[in-house]
Amino acid sequence: MIKALRGMKDIIEDKRFLKIFDTAREVAQSYGYSYIETPILEETSLFKRSVGESSDIVNKEMYQFIDKGGNDVCLRPEGTAGVVRSFIEHKFDRQGVPKRFWYFGPMFRYERPQKGRLREFHQFGIESFGEASVYEDINVIALAADIFDRLGITYTLKINSLGCSECMPSYREKLTKFLNENKENLCEDCQRRINQNPIRTLDCKNQNCQSILKDAPKITDNLCESCKNDFEELKKGLDNLGIKYEVDKHLVRGLDYYTKTTFEFISDEIGAQSAIAGGGRYDRLVEFLGGKPTPAVGFAIGIERIMDLVDIKDKRDGIYMGAMIKEAIPFIQKKAKELRKDTKVFVEVKPKSLKAHLKAADKGNFKKALIVGEDELKTGKFFEKEL
């Protein structure tokens, strides 16, 4: 028997999946976002450049192969790279007007499958291009918060600022100096990060590193005037909308094109402090991938991460239609076509007794059953029962 690949899963009759999709789509559309669908397969170089050559995703987790034409291609490990590639390819970067997109689809990472982590998983995300204002960051965070609120998911929002090309380099110097002074007490990974990517030491999971890094210089204490003002506006703006947050000075992104606002939504309900969404500003990525410099901000939600947090209350809905004799089936099919304009209608195509139909309608969680027998077919009326 052929089985699905390890870490890949069929989604069958799972109402939570569609509910998350519908809710996220509705919220994004209510904020004026347009749908974008980009190919699942892209040139490997796109992810090497955008996700970063030194990242675990690119180094160990990509589904990368040479296709029959000899092209080095890759199943997308995340959604932003493809959307940015598309944004540039369609010359939106030259139009100088904001563009806002939402996407939903499968992503692929070859990692060890574990609870809540699959090799094929789904993400919903948005990307907003062309707006440098911090008020756009507030909108983007509010959009994510709205999705979680509508799904009844409780969260902790963590925010931080990563600074900009003005203030980040001098901060990095200070941090590197601190790290070198404490080098022998840091874990091997962090020792390597000092030269490669010192910022990444800040979110090292090693307890010992964490206790040392408590005293490290903080980005938010080293922001330039403009970044500082934006960070203050961000906090005020979230207060204004009643969105609660915590400033986490160790919340970082590992790549140079991330700037200013960064955020994560955390759930305590799925194990220790798991991120259910992450995002922020990436003002330099469009330029980094060959486009005209364009500010941008976005986030992505891991669908499988939040599935267990979504509660589906199974309400009865729709109509069940059944015939007791074969001759009545065309009659109910025609009637069903009309009724479907307003509601869900299921047509049973096997003739059954009244009792059997009512039992099936009840089991199917329908709200109402309409049954036709010989008498009903003559009069054109239904036997009707509310369930």
Q: Which residues bind Zn ion (CB under 5 A)?
A: 163-164, 166-167, 187, 190, 204, 206, 209, 224, 227
Say how many Å lie between the first and final Cα of the chain, rounded: 41
For Zn ion, give the closer residue by CB, 228 or 340.
228
CA 193-197-199 angle, to 5 degrees, is: 100
123 or 262: whose CB is closer to Zn ion? 262
Residues whose CB is less than 8 angstroms from the CB of residue 203 and which lie 6 or more positions away in sequence, other chains included: 250, 251, 252
Judged by beta carbon, residue 58 or residue 179, the one nearer Zn ion is 179
Q: Which is nearer to Zn ion, 128 or 259 (CB)?
A: 259
* In the complex, least distance from residue 167 CB atom to Zn ion, rounded to whole angstroms: 4
Q: Where are the beta strands (DSSP E) in the chain?
A: 34-35, 41-43, 63-66, 72-75, 99-108, 120-129, 156-161, 246-247, 259-267, 274-281, 296-302, 319-323, 345-347, 368-372, 383-386
Strand order in the sheet with 246-247: 34-35, 99-108, 120-129, 296-302, 274-281, 259-267, 156-161, 246-247
* DSSP helix/strand/coil, 214: coil
Judged by beta carbon, residue 213 or residue 285, the one nearer Zn ion is 213
Min CB(183)–Zn ion separation in Å = 11
134-151 helix and 225-240 helix, angle to the nearest 10 degrees: 30
> Judged by CB, which is closer to Zn ion: 187, or 307?
187
Q: Are 127 and 101 in contact (CB under 8 A)?
A: yes
Query: What is the rounded distance in angstroms from the CA atom of residue 137 to the CA atom of residue 159?
Result: 11
CA geometry: angle at 166 spanning 160 and 170, to 5°?
80
- Strand, helix or coil at 69? coil
Nearer to Zn ion, 55 or 86 (CB): 55
Amino acid at position 357, single letter? H
Nearest distance in Å: CB 292, Zn ion: 21
Q: Give least dist CB 277 to Zn ion, A.
A: 25
CB 136 → Zn ion: shortest distance, Å?
A: 17
Residue 201 CB, shortest distance to Zn ion, in Å, is 6
Distance of closest approach, residue 223 Cβ to Zn ion, in angstroms:
5
Please report, for residues 27, 28, 261, the alpha-carbon distance to residue 31 in angstroms, rounded to integers and kept in the order given: 6, 5, 20
When the beta carbons of 125 and 163 are compared against Zn ion, the nearer one is 163
Provide, rounded to whole angstroms, the least separation between the CB of residue 16 and Zn ion.
36
